[in-house]
Amino acid sequence: MNPDKLYIGVNYHPHDWPEGRWKIDIEMMKHAGFELVRLGHLAWDSYEPDNGVYTFEWFDQVMDLFAQAGIGVVLDISTRPAPVWVHEMCPGCRIHDKAGNEAPAVRRYMEDVSDPDYQHYALRFARVMVERYKNHPALFAFGLCNEQGAGHASYSADSLKRFKAWLKAKYGTIENLNKAWATQRWCRRLRSFDDVLMPVNSVEVGSPEAWLDMRRFFSDGVGQYIAKLAALVEELAPGVPHPSNHYSGHRELGFDLLKYSDSFVDYAAMGNYPSFVMDEKVQYTFTIMQERLNELDTPMWFLEFETGFNAIFSGPDGYVRMQAFLCMQHRLQLMLGWTWRTMLGGEEQFFHGMVGHDGLPTPVYHEYARIARDFRKLEKYAFPYLPKIEIAVAYNQESWWAQLYNPTQYATPYTQGILYAQKALFAQNRDYNIVDLRNMKKQYKLLLVPNHIVMEPAAAAAIRRFVEEGGTVLMTGYSAVVDQTSKAFDTPRPGLLSDVFGLRIAGFDRSGLPDRKGFIQSPERMITRNDKALRIKADYVERLELHEAQCYAMLDNGQCAVSVHRYGKGKAYYLAPEANAELFAWMIDHIADELQLIAPPAAPEGVQAREISPGQVFYVNTTNQPVCIPIPRAGYGILTEQRYDDMLVLSPYDGELLVNHVTNPEGPGVDSLIENEALL
């Protein structure tokens, strides 16, 4: 793997197509300029159709053909979905609904990966596959299965037995568990761990404390299994990359990625399906990217990247290319289109690919071929882009779970609060990292903490230390509401941090009323500081009782909208409203100079811009209209191969790398830069 190269390719399912088609497809991939292919996912029983019966010979031919074509293989270790014979042999892995009834595996991802018997067969298969192909000349990387975290939580008797053991290991005594779960409420006191039940059933949901522990239990089952897969690859094939196209953010199951990331991630990876409209869903994708990276100094690998979509043949011309460019601004190094050929049958029968049902190229094939040509030009410059990061956004999966449990109290989804932080930074063309306050690895100037509902001691200590040592934190309403057990604090809020922020949350106002469809219609509120005003919509605003803190900005009703408190060498700002994109942007504008944040390149609305290296600015037009971009100095467009003096014009969904220097191949080293007089 070349760290200075950009890779493009596709997902391919040779077991879906006759052997005579393989060479045709590979030749078409080569013609498009593809250098990688992802194979193996979702196909366990094509290699092991029965217990211990292996039929790898057909796949040996596939690997050999790609090696001969010079196309590298990202080989997925396909331990999900489990074959029918695994379900027959492992009753403990079968999914059971909330009533305890078995749900037959009629679709993919209907196995409980935490079941020890399932893991026996899955890890045995993984070991055989890795041993067989670890030295194959086509191998580029092993993938740690597909979409771990997707599927269903299982409420089986086996799962309950493991849950009881998990609780006993965590709490030690039943007295500790009773205290953590507040079981004195409504006569739910437990006499022993044998009394533990799953805190959900077909009729009702239990307490928030028990619910949070249940989600942690399910999370640990998935996270620990992926860590075992990673450890197996590292043991048998040391040095071979092992990305994972997981689904940590799955609403029903999922897992706490930031807790487990260090145990299995070498190259952060994901699937990217941005649809074909630049809406909030697309913007949230970039937050997922940063979560996957988890402060890594490596680039981003997209093991799946949208081609067509379910029931959508292809998007607007150039849209996928634009998304690829946007992802390059967010550290993309590798993208593999999903999928090569539209399947003739199965659940994704009309999830359209680069090649249609008839085996002929679609417009998306030609768009990916164009992206491949662009990559060859752009990789000669400062890609993959690995920026210097000065801003962090705190993410906490447990706060999301707490919000899912009580959507009445936390009316704004937790992920929406994270999106608002991302939208503010996206609009300002600023880079950032998603961080886990329990394990923050790097130094930052600014930390955003949006709607951080659950505040455990380790997270609070990280914020305290960050501010003490000179950092600036912006924390919003809805933060530090409950402790690590999901019980409300019996000390002043923000819990564990009232001294850091120099205030007490004395209450809150909620004046938004639901419309006929149940959506909150938030009122407008005016925030002012000196002569600068901001109008926002906010349903939830906390009442700040200032102690050592000072009022930084006021609400139009005379209450404090934003407080500031110097603590140690740094400053702690508390934003009374729940997370809000406009307020975040307004605050960053106010304090950017004081913090000496790197000034991003200027760009009109709808254009993302990054200075990927001194004198190299990459512009992406995210709109469906032409855009004129004033440029501060003349430059040369790498993609268009033409000079621009004072204005760059980008077509809809277009991008351009503008440079005003080039690498000097005859200088003292490849990093020496000179002005390119011939071009400029």
- Predicted confidence at residue 536, as pLDDT, reads 95
- Predicted confidence at residue 330, as pLDDT, reads 96
Asked if residue 152 lies in contact with residue 258, where contact means CB atoms within 8 angstroms, the answer is no
DSSP E strands, 345-494 = 391-394, 433-435, 446-449, 472-476
With CA atoms as reference, report the closest residue to 614 among 595, 593, 594, 598. Answer: 598
* Fold equal for 7-153+225-378 and 391-595: no
Percent of the chain beyond pLDDT 70? 96
Q: What is the mean pLDDT of residues 178-196?
A: 97
pLDDT digit string (tens) for 604-642? Answer: 999 999 999 999 999 999 999 999 999 999 999 999 999
- Predicted confidence at residue 280, as pLDDT, reads 82
Asked if residue 432 lies in contact with residue 290, where contact means CB atoms within 8 angstroms, the answer is yes
For residue 367, give the amino acid letter. Answer: E
Q: DSSP H helical segments within 470-561, as ranges? A: 498-501
- Predicted confidence at residue 310, as pLDDT, reads 86
Other Cβ atoms less than 10 A from the Cβ of 228: the count is 17
With CA atoms as reference, report the closest residue to 32 among 69, 59, 64. Answer: 69
Q: What is the mean pLDDT of residues 216-242?
A: 98
Asked if residue 327 lies in contact with residue 371, where contact means CB atoms within 8 angstroms, the answer is no
Separation of alpha carbons 408 and 493, rounded Å: 20
Q: What is the mean pLDDT of residues 66-74?
A: 98
- What is the full DSSP assignment across 619-650? EEE-SSS-EEEE-SS-EEETTTTEEESSEEEE
Instruction: Break the chain into its structural domains and give their ranges.
Output: 7-153+225-378, 391-595, 607-674
Looking at 3.40.190.10, 1.10.3470.10, 3.40.50.880, 3.60.15.10, the CATH number of the domain 391-595 comes to: 3.40.50.880
User: Can you give the pTM of this predicted structure?
Assistant: 0.94
- Predicted confidence at residue 667, as pLDDT, reads 32
- Predicted confidence at residue 518, as pLDDT, reads 58
423 confidence band (pLDDT: 50, 70, 90): very high
In our burial notation (b when 16+ CB lie closer than 10 A, e otherwise), range 403-422 reads bbbeeeebbbebbbbbbbbb
Q: What is the mean pLDDT of residues 451-479?
A: 98
Which tokens hold the place of 147?
């979409």
- Predicted confidence at residue 282, as pLDDT, reads 81
- Predicted confidence at residue 519, as pLDDT, reads 56
- Predicted confidence at residue 485, as pLDDT, reads 98
Residue 393 has pLDDT above 60, yes or no: yes
Range in 53-67, 268-282, 466-480, 573-587 the model is least confident about? 268-282
Most confidently modeled range among 237-241, 280-284, 520-524: 237-241
Tell me if the domain spanning 7-153+225-378 has CATH number 2.40.30.20: no
Which overall architecture, per CATH, does domain 607-674 show? Sandwich (2.60)
pLDDT digit string (tens) for 253-307? Answer: 999 999 999 999 999 999 999 888 888 878 889 999 999 999 999 999 999 999 9
Residue 242 has pLDDT above 70, yes or no: yes
Q: What is the mean pLDDT of residues 52-67?
A: 98
